[in-house]
Every structure is written in C-alpha cells, then in structure tokens.
Structure 1
Amino acid sequence: MKPLPEYVAELERYFKSKTIECFEYSQFNIDKCIGSGGYAVVYLATFQEKVFALKCLRSTLSLSEKEIRSFKRELECLYKVNHQNIVKFHGIARDKSTNNFMLVLQYADNGNLREFLQQKYEGNVYKISWVELIQIAMDITHGLEHLHDYDIIHRDLHSKNILINNKSALITVFGISKSLNSTTESSTTVKGLMVYIEPRCLEGLLQSDKKIKYNKKSNIYSLGQCCHWNSGIPLED
C-alpha cells in the first residue's frame, strides 16, 4: 500500500498526460467545509471568481498499485462525461505544502437529496409538489442513462449521492464506480448502503466465495430505491 504523498505526484503527472486540467491550489479561496466522508472532506471554494466544490482526499488514505490504476482509469473516464444531471469533474489540484490531492467538482447549492427533502418537511407534511418530485426522479434517471451510455456502473447510488443544484438533481460521488470494461469489476465484498443494493448482489455476503458483479440492472434497482419516496408521502395540498 502507498500512502497518499507517495502517489499524488504520479497521479498529477498522469492527468496532465491525459489533458485533465490541473488547477493551481494556491489560487483557491477556501470558504467552509460542506461535507465529509470516509476518505475525503469537501470544501466550498472559489477559483478566479468561480465557485467549486473541492474534494480533498484524507492524508491518511492509502491505495494499492491496483487501486491506483483503477482510480486513474475512472477519473479519466468521468472527465469525459458531460451531462446536466451529473456533477461535473473539472480537474485536480494539489496542496504542495501537504501533498494533499483534491478533485475540483461542480458545486451544488442545495445540498444532497436527503437534506433537500428534510428541509421541505414541516408539520408532518412535505411542502413540495408532485411536479417537482417527478422532475427530480427524471433528472436522476437521465443522469444514470448517460452513465450507462458510457458503460459506467455507479455502485453507490443513494439519496446522499444525489445533489440538488438550482432545482436540478445531479448524480455525484464516483468513488466506487467502475467501467463495464474494467478487469476489476468483480468483487467478493458489497460496497455502498445496504438498502440501496440489489438483493442479487447481497448473495455474496452469505456465500463468501461468490463473485459479485454489479451491472446496469443493479443501478436501476438503486434508482428505484432513490425514488421510493415518490410514493405515499404526505404532500401539502
């Protein structure tokens, strides 16, 4: 396993060779932390008067050589994806004082889908129209369809990985996404939130020697779970 400082420069050189934009970190103005997860912290930041989400990988993160190769392929692929319902990956930045490696992403102004719906909940009623709910569901579907056109399997699609920006839904967090052409597609471990995972894939938990293969149908199941709040929730008249 390589600690982050040892492979970040290697990744930066690789992205330059693939024409993925490398931002000068010193030119970012960091505003505040807007989220955190197991391997990264996300900040609201501005660069040349433009607003971005800056996703900083934790300095304690370690990856194997195999995972580094997969990470390179994934970001190269996602850099080519361009759709209004997918969070745009703009490029990379590196804090040279710490060697921390960062992803420069599109900023969404209304947080994730779960937070957005919680803000609409008041007095046991969701103050949101069916028209808006259906539009959110359609946005997620269109974004997922575009990923599938590129043969990208998300593998972690849930309400916290759907962002809301100017009333549009955006799919984000591709930390465990894979291309259907990847040789590392199979796994013996289940990744993601359990309730959103296709039951077929959960068989691997009961059969330790069983290979788990996520596919486009697995994403469709997760899409249905993301949108299940469309059915039966009390809405304001």
Structure 2
Amino acid sequence: MNPSEDLIQKCLVEGQVKFYEYTRFKDIELIGEGGYGKVYRAIFKDNEITVALKSFKGNHVSIKEIVNELKLHCRVDMHSNIIRLHGATNNEDKQNLSFTHYMFVLEYADSGTLSSYLRNNFKYLSWYDKINFALQIASAIKCLHVEGIIHRDLNIKLTDFGLSRRLDEATNSNQKVGGIIAYIDPQSFEGSRRGNKIFKFNKKSDIYSIGILMWEISSGYPPFKDDSEPYQLASLIVDIKNGLRENHIEGTPPEYIKIYTDCWQHNPDSRPDIQQVFLRLKDLSDNNNHDINKIDQYFNTLKVHEPIHSVNHSNSSLFISDSTDKNLMQDSSSSLLNYDDIGDYEKRLLDLNKLLEIDPNNVKLLISRGEIYRIMNRYKDSLVDFNKSLEIEPDNAFALKNRGVAYCHLHKYEESLANFDRSLEIEPRDAFALKYVEILIE
C-alpha cells in the first residue's frame, strides 16, 4: 500500500466510513465524466439498491480531494438535502496494477440536474413547489456554511424529487462551457486584476449562485440560455460584470423576486447571508401559501377560446352588440376565471382586486380585470389595466386587441385601429383583428 492509499485508509477509519468490496456491486454503468473523474450507476447486490459510484482521477491532487471530500461528507452527512455518503470502495487499475481507484458509494439521485428536471416537469409545478425547491437549496447551503463549507465542495439534492445539482457541472463534457457562466460570482471574473490574486470562492459566492438558481426555478430554463455558445462567452462575461441579469418572470411573487435580486447583487457586501435567505424563504413559504395557491388555482382554471365577436357596421359608425360583449368571456380568447354564474362580474372583480394586491404587475390578472371592466362598460378603468399590462409586455397581442375594443366603445377609432394594426404585426393571421381592421377602415 502506497502513502496515498494509507492516507485514504486512515481517513476512512477516522470518519467511520464503511468500506465495501467492489465485487458487491453489479450492473455498473458510466453515467457521467468530467474533470474530477467518472460517475457510475450501480446496483448493490445485497439489497438491490441503486447507488452512484464516484471515482477520482489518479493523481496526487485527487488524493487530497478524496480525503477532503470524505471529511466534508462526515461533517454534514445527516442533512436531508445533501447527497448521502454510503461508504467507499476501490477497484484495481487494469493498466497500472500498482494503482488502486478509490470510489465513493453515494446515494443515487435519479432525476438529473435542476435544468433537466425543470425542463421535464415545470408545467406541473405550483408556486408552492418552486418556493419549496428554493427553500431546500437554502437549507442545504445553510448546513454547509455552518460547517465552513461552500457549495462547490459537495452535491446537493432536493428531497421528494430526487433532484441533484452541482455548480461545477461545467466540467461535464456533455455540457456547454457557457452554461455555467451565469451561475458564477462575477467577482471571480475580476480576480486576476486585483493585485494578481486568484479569486477564492466564498460564502457570498454561494449566495450569488442561489439567486441565479432561484430565477431558474421561477422561469423553468437556464439563464442566458441563448448566449452560451463559445463565441458569445466573452461578451456575456463583460455584460454580467456590468450588471446584466435576467428579467423577472410574469406571475412571480414579488417577495421571491426581492430575495433573488438581493442575492445576485454585484457587490458581495450587499448580498444577504444564508441565514437571512433561508428565513425569508421560510416566511414566504409559511405565510403566503394561501395567497400563492389562490393565484395558482386561478391560472389553472383559465380557459382559452377562439375569438368570436359579433361586429356590425351601420351608417359609418362601429357598433358592438351588447349580447356579444356580455358573453365575451365564453366567446373570446378570454383569460377570465370561469364562474358558474356567467353574470357575476362584481364577484370576479373582487377576486381579481385581491389577487392584484398580491401581485400587482401580473399581466394576466391585469388583462382579466380590464376585460371585466370593459364588459361592465367601465371603459376608462379597463384602459388603465390594458395600458399597464402593455407597459410590462408591449408585444402582448391579446392586450392590444382588448385595448382596441375599449377604444372602439369610446369612439376613438384611430387609437383602436392603431392597436389592432400592432396586434396583427405580432399575430398576422388573427381572424378577429383582421375583421375589426376591415370594418374600421371602411
């Protein structure tokens, strides 16, 4: 046994890490490879449990990494959001019989990366689920920081979904190099310029990464996903250093936005610590579940229909039939909540007002309330909501068409035509908008 192996054996004994003979594993399959080494999926013969075997490249630096990671696992192994270390094993190198490959036997997280999980399941997630994701990440990071460990040292998973995520997944040969840039503390891009000192990742670097991950959870896709090609990296790094961040996603709870924007501040001193992040997410989860679920339930009941409007043109003036307008909820591409009593507009309005108190910049809610106002002949009120929704989303064709109808009721035909023309630039084949334009220009 060489000195390196002695060091590993000593660490295994001191950490009371169980050693398993390599022959106790079967169906060993390579599932990942990177700068650190390789990861295999395997079946433990004794109980048919699926595990992950993580190997390290055989050099002196890697021996230190093995020992260091073993020590880290022993310190935080009981946390439910951190990949569990079952033990260790080894396998002789067939090309170099004097060398032994040591491997960790780890809990197998079968849902892949955060990005892949969100890509496959995002449409099924409520805001309660998303906040719970962020809370689990914060909980794991909090455990690590208490022990003086930063995230880049250990795997993190999200319980109940078997989800794992590493910020250093960029070492995986199957992932674009640019895919990791957005998660890295921008301070690291400037490290070489600060007295020729190499930047050292720290706890506030983890906080920045949490902010980016929280945004990814809110959107369902990675940040700057269209700017990750190699030729785009230099400009992306410069832009991020200069403060570029992704835009907020419609429907995101304002407090959630506030948390992740605080986390991704350029100045590390302006970022909260992990305890503050955890407590704010916990408060959001505990105190706002009812409000968040109301919004989720609202959007889960949205019914979208083809637009069917009854429009009459007589004596060079535009008239929209009352019967059609009062049934707009059923006959248009309406985003209104479907109540049993189709005429109960006041009740809808009260519900929408409450929801907009929770999320005042939610475009869907604004358009829905604007439609209610229009159906109730409160055209000026409807224009306020349509105007605000279009300030947030200037290219929302549905809001433009609704604003066009409202202007028609107010006999502002030029403004109405301008809105329908703009909507047709976005949706050129929209039958309802084409019909309106045809009548307006007669």
- Compute the TM-score of the two structures, normalised by the length of structure 1: 0.72
Amino acid at match of 2:147: Y
Give the conservation status (yes or no) of the 8 Å contact 2:26–2:43: yes
Give the conservation status (yes or no) of the 8 Å contact 1:42–1:54: yes
Partners of 1:24 and 1:119 in 2: CA distance: 37
Partners of 1:54 and 1:70 in 2: CA distance: 16
Displacement of 1:204: 1.2
* Counterpart check, 1:57 vs 2:45: no
Partners of 1:95 and 1:106 in 2: CA distance: 19
Give the conservation status (yes or no) of the 8 Å contact 2:37–2:55: yes
- Partner residue of 1:33? 30
CA separation of 1:132 and 1:85: change in aligned 2, threshold 3 A: same
Matches within 5 A, 1:148-167: 148-155=145-152, 162-164=156-158, 166-167=160-161
Secondary structure, counterpart of 1:90 in structure 2: strand
In structure 1, which of residues 87, 90, 108 is the aligned counterpart of residue 86 of structure 2?
90
Which is greater in Rg? 2
In structure 1, which of residues 128, 139, 151 is the aligned counterpart of residue 136 of structure 2?
139
- Partner residue of 1:199? 186
CA separation of 1:44 and 1:76: change in aligned 2, threshold 3 A: same
Secondary structure, counterpart of 1:204 in structure 2: helix
Displacement of 1:201: 2.7
* Counterpart check, 1:116 vs 2:117: yes
Name the Cα RMSD after superposition: 3.2
The one-character-per-residue Cα deviations of 1:135-169 (angstroms, maximum 9, x if unpaired) are 11111010000001111012379xxx654553255
Give the conservation status (yes or no) of the 8 Å contact 1:57–1:101: yes
The one-character-per-residue Cα deviations of 1:51-96 (angstroms, maximum 9, x if unpaired) are 21111224xx4234xx644542332132231200111122211013
The one-character-per-residue Cα deviations of 1:186-230 (angstroms, maximum 9, x if unpaired) are xxxxxx933212222321144471242322111111111111121
Partners of 1:13 and 1:156 in 2: CA distance: 21
Partners of 2:167 and 2:191 in 1: CA distance: 24
- Partner residue of 1:184? none
Give the conservation status (yes or no) of the 8 Å contact 1:15–1:21: no
Question: Structure 2 stretches of 5 or more lacking a match?
Answer: 95-99, 170-178, 219-247, 252-295, 301-442
Question: Structure 1 stretches of 5 or more lacking a match?
Answer: 176-191
Partners of 1:111 and 1:78 in 2: CA distance: 20
Partners of 2:68 and 2:156 in 1: CA distance: 23
- Partner residue of 2:211? 224
Identity of aligned residues (%): 32
Displacement of 1:170: 4.8
Partners of 2:167 and 2:56 in 1: CA distance: 13
CA separation of 1:200 and 1:172: change in aligned 2, threshold 3 A: closer
- Partner residue of 1:102? 103
- Partner residue of 1:74? 69
Give the conservation status (yes or no) of the 8 Å contact 2:42–2:53: yes
Give the conservation status (yes or no) of the 8 Å contact 1:136–1:169: no
CA separation of 1:6 and 1:227: change in aligned 2, threshold 3 A: farther
Greater share of helix residues, 1 or 2? 2
Runs of 4+ in 1 over 6 A off after TM superposition: 233-236
Asked which structure has the greater RCO (Cα within 8 Å, sep 6+), the reply is 1
Partners of 2:2 and 2:8 in 1: CA distance: 11
Partners of 2:4 and 2:26 in 1: CA distance: 21
Greater share of strand residues, 1 or 2? 1
Partners of 1:70 and 1:34 in 2: CA distance: 21
Give the conservation status (yes or no) of the 8 Å contact 2:8–2:63: no
- Partner residue of 2:383? none
Amino acid at match of 1:93: T
Secondary structure, counterpart of 1:224 in structure 2: helix
Partners of 2:8 and 2:130 in 1: CA distance: 40
Secondary structure, counterpart of 1:91 in structure 2: strand
Secondary structure, counterpart of 1:166 in structure 2: coil
Give the conservation status (yes or no) of the 8 Å contact 1:85–1:171: no
Partners of 1:27 and 1:8 in 2: CA distance: 24
CA separation of 1:222 and 1:173: change in aligned 2, threshold 3 A: closer
Give the conservation status (yes or no) of the 8 Å contact 2:81–2:156: no
- Partner residue of 1:214? 201
Secondary structure, counterpart of 2:106 in structure 1: strand
Secondary structure, counterpart of 1:94 in structure 2: strand
